[in-house]
Amino acid sequence: MSDRREFRDLASPEEAREAVDGLDIAPEPETVPLDAARDRVLAERIDAAIDVPGFDRASMDGYAVRARDTFGADEADPKTLSVAGVVHAGEEPDVTVEPGTAAEISTGAVLPPGADAVVMVERTTETDDGVDVRTAVAPGDHVMLAGADIAAGARALGPGTRLTAREIGLLSALGVDEVPVRGRPRVGILSTGDELVRPGDALDSAAGQIYDVNSYALATAVEEAGGDPVLYPHAGDDFDEMERLLREAADECDLVLSSGSTSASAVDVIYRVIEERGDLRLHGVAIKPGKPMLVGTIGDSAYVGLPGYPVSALTIFRTFVAPALRDAAGLPAPETAVVTGRMAVEERYGEGRRRLLPAGLVEDGAGTTLVYPVDKGSGATTSLVDADGFVDVPAGTDYLADGEAVEVTLFSPAVRPPTLLGMGEDDPLLSRLLDEIDRPRYLPVGTAEGLRRLGDGVPDLAVVAGPVDAEPDATDIGGWTREWGLVVTEASDVTSLSDLVDDSVRFVNRDGGSGLRRSLDDSLDALADERGVGRAALTEAIEGYELTAKAHESPARKVRNGDADAGLGLRATATKLGLGFVPLGTQSVRVLAAPDRREKPSVADFESILDDLEARTDGLDGFDPR
C-alpha cells in the first residue's frame, strides 16, 4: 500500500503553504459586460473617457440666467426678466439667454447659451411680463460644470478595485459597458474512488457506496474563494479513465484538485501522470486533519491532491489552497474572525501533529464564550456543520485544560454561533420545535450522553426521554409524552413484548444511551420478574437485541426495507412510514435547562414554545403535551 509508504516524510504546514503559493494559477484577464461585473476585480486602471457631466448642467429646477442680471435682486426688490423659452432635461436648448432674459429650466437640463447660473424656482415668481427673480446669484450657482464630477482623462478606479454597486454606478456614469477584470482561476475537480456516487443517483449501500461529498463541497468552496469550478465526471478506480481525465483537466484548467481515492493504485496513477507531464513538489503535510496532500504541476496546470475525507479535504483546501486562489483572482485576503473563549471540557491528544481542531461555540449564562471540540471521528460529514470554526493546536500539545482560554478562527466572518445549543434524545416533535428557533444547534447524542454533557456545563438544554437514574441539577422547562413500542410490518404476528422473546423475530434495537432503549430494558426487567428469570435470559433470546441503531427512525426503516421484522420505535414513526405498531408504553420527554442558562433569550423563547404545544403535535400520533 504505497500511500502508507509515501506519506512518511511529512512537510511542515509552512512548507505546504509555500509550495501551493509557488504554483502559477493566475488566469488571463478577461472582459465582462457591466451587468455581470459584480464582485469582480478590475484588471487595470479605468480612466474617464468622457467628461461627466458632458455639459454644463442645471442642478435645480428654476430659471437659467446671466448672473449679472440678478445682481442686487432680493425679496424686497426683485429683478424682472423676460422668459425666452424652456429647456427640459434630455433636449438641446433652442433658446439663447440674452441680457435681460431667462429660460425656464429643469434639473439635469443643459444650461442654454448665454446663461451662466440658475435661480431656484422657489426664489422666483411668474408674472405676466416674465419672471421676478428675488435673489442674486453668482456665475456657476446651481450649475454643475461639464467635467466637474469627473473629467475625461482623470483616474476613475484603480486596478484591483472590487466592483460593488457603487463602482458599477461610477462605471455606468462613464458609459463603460464592458469591464476588464481579473480572470477567475478555472479549477478542475476530480473525485476518484469506486465507492463514490453523485448525489441524486441511486446508492448501493451493501456494496459500500457512499455519496460523493467532496465534489460539490469543493466546487462551492472554490466559488467562495473567487474561482470557477469545473466538475469532471467521476472516474471510479478505472485508471485509464482517471489518467485521461487528469490530462484533460490539466489542459483545460489553471488548477486541478483531486480527492477521494484511498486506493494505492489510484495514487500511483496520479504519480505517473505528474511524473510524465509535470513535477511533484510536496507530498504529505504534518497537520491534522489532512495528512495526505500532494502539490505539483501537470503540464501547464497546477495540481493539488486533497485527502478523501470531507472534513480533511475542506480543511486542507481552506488552509492552503483558498489563499492562493484568492490571490490569483485578485481578491483581498479574507477577513478572518477570531473569537476567544474557554474550553468547556478537557481535550487530550495522543499524537504530536499540529491540529486544526473543529470546535463549536456556546455562550454560558454569564455571556462567556465556551468552546467544545466537535469530533465525530474520521469521515463524519455532520462535523462540517456542527462546528463554527477551529482551534489551531500547535504540534506537541498534550492537552487543552477545561477552562483554558483558546482562540477559535471562525470558518468565515459571517459565521454566527448558534443561539441555542441542545443535546440529548432525538425526537420528531423536538425537530419541529427547533424550526421555530433562529439558528439552534441540536446534537442527538441520546439521553444518557445529553445528561452527561449537561453536567459538564456544555449545552444550554438536555432533552431526556424516559426514566433516569439520578435527577440532574437542571430546571425542567417543559416537555411532552410519546407512545413507544415495536414498529412492525402491517402483516406481523407480533402483538407483545413476549413475542419478541418467544418467537423467531428479527429485531432492531436502539443504542444503550437512548431513552427508548432504557424504557425497553425496564419493560424487559418487568417481564423477567414476571417469569422469574434474569433479564439476560430474555435478551439472549431476542434475535438482534445487540443490533442497535442510533436514531429514532432507523429501526423502523429497517423493518420497512424488509431487513427486520420489528424495531424499537415510536407510534408516530409507524404511522409516518405506514407500518404496524405494538404499543409498549408512554414515556415522558423532558427539556432540562442548565441552571445558569435560564436567562438566555433563546432558552426563554424555547420555554414559551414548550408552554403551548397543543397545535404543534398535529399529525404526530401518540404525542401529547404533558
Residues 330-359 that bind its own copies (CB under 8 A): 332, 335
- Shortest separation between residue 405's beta carbon and its own copies, angstroms: 25
Q: Does residue 545 interact with its own copies by CB under 8 A?
A: no
- Shortest separation between residue 300's beta carbon and its own copies, angstroms: 26
Q: Would you call 202 helix, strand, or coil by DSSP?
A: coil
Answer whether 115's CB lies under 8 Å from 57's CB.
no
- Shortest separation between residue 410's beta carbon and its own copies, angstroms: 12
Binding range to its own copies, per CB under 8 A, among 10-18, 44-52, 400-408, 594-602: 44-52
* Torsion of the alpha carbons at 618, 623, 624 and 626, rounded to the nearest 10: -130
Identity of the residue, 174 or 593, whose beta carbon is nearer to its own copies in the bound complex: 174
Q: Does residue 208 interact with its own copies by CB under 8 A?
A: yes
Q: Does residue 315 interact with its own copies by CB under 8 A?
A: no
Burial of 315 (0-12, 13-18, 19+ CB in 10 A): buried
Identity of the residue, 171 or 566, whose beta carbon is nearer to its own copies in the bound complex: 171
Identity of the residue, 158 or 403, whose beta carbon is nearer to its own copies in the bound complex: 158
Identity of the residue, 22 or 169, whose beta carbon is nearer to its own copies in the bound complex: 169
d(CA 354, CA 75): 80
Q: Does residue 272 interact with its own copies by CB under 8 A?
A: no
Q: Does residue 154 interact with its own copies by CB under 8 A?
A: yes
* Contacts with its own copies, 241-270, as mask; x by CB under 8 A: ---------------------xx-------
Q: Does residue 173 interact with its own copies by CB under 8 A?
A: yes
Within residues 46-105, the interface with its own copies by CB under 8 A covers 47-48, 50-55, 57, 59, 61, 87-92
Indicate the pairing of strand 623-625 with strand 475-488.
antiparallel
For the sheet with 294-298, list strands across it.
228-231, 186-191, 255-259, 301-306, 294-298, 278-283
Identity of the residue, 223 or 279, whose beta carbon is nearer to its own copies in the bound complex: 223
- Shortest separation between residue 504's beta carbon and its own copies, angstroms: 19
Within residues 444-483, the interface with its own copies by CB under 8 A covers 444
Q: Would you call 252 helix, strand, or coil by DSSP?
A: helix
- Shortest separation between residue 396's beta carbon and its own copies, angstroms: 21
Identity of the residue, 3 or 456, whose beta carbon is nearer to its own copies in the bound complex: 3
How many C-beta neighbours within 10 Å does residue 129 have?
Answer: 10
Identity of the residue, 230 or 528, whose beta carbon is nearer to its own copies in the bound complex: 230
* Contacts with its own copies, 548-567, as mask; x by CB under 8 A: -xxxxxx--x----------
d(CA 568, CA 556): 7
Within residues 356-395, the interface with its own copies by CB under 8 A covers 376-382, 384-385
Number of residues that bind its own copies (CB under 8 A): 135
d(CA 572, CA 441): 23
The C-alpha cell 407480533 sits at 494
Per CB under 8 A, the list member of 22, 153, 512, 595 interacting with its own copies is 153
d(CA 258, CA 304): 7
- Shortest separation between residue 171's beta carbon and its own copies, angstroms: 7
Q: Buried (b) or exposed (e) across 429-451, using 16+ Cβ within 10 A? A: bbebbeeebeebbbbbbbbbbbb
Identity of the residue, 170 or 343, whose beta carbon is nearer to its own copies in the bound complex: 170
Which distant-in-sequence residues (6+ apart) come within 8 Å of 554 by Cβ? 508, 567
Q: Does residue 216 interact with its own copies by CB under 8 A?
A: yes
Within residues 480-509, the interface with its own copies by CB under 8 A covers none
Identity of the residue, 220 or 608, whose beta carbon is nearer to its own copies in the bound complex: 220
Per CB under 8 A, the list member of 296, 310, 479, 513 interacting with its own copies is 310
d(CA 433, CA 72): 75
Within residues 395-434, the interface with its own copies by CB under 8 A covers 411-414, 416, 426, 428, 431, 434
Within residues 128-147, the interface with its own copies by CB under 8 A covers 144-147
Q: Would you call 236 helix, strand, or coil by DSSP?
A: coil
Binding range to its own copies, per CB under 8 A, among 66-74, 169-177, 532-540, 616-624: 169-177
Q: Buried (b) or exposed (e) across 381-403, using 16+ Cβ within 10 A? A: eebbebbbbbbbbeeeeeebeee
Angle at 586 between CA 582 and CA 591, to 5 degrees: 135
Query: What is the enclosing helix (H) or strand (E) of 119?
Result: strand 117-120
- Shortest separation between residue 498's beta carbon and its own copies, angstroms: 28
Q: Would you call 453 helix, strand, or coil by DSSP?
A: helix
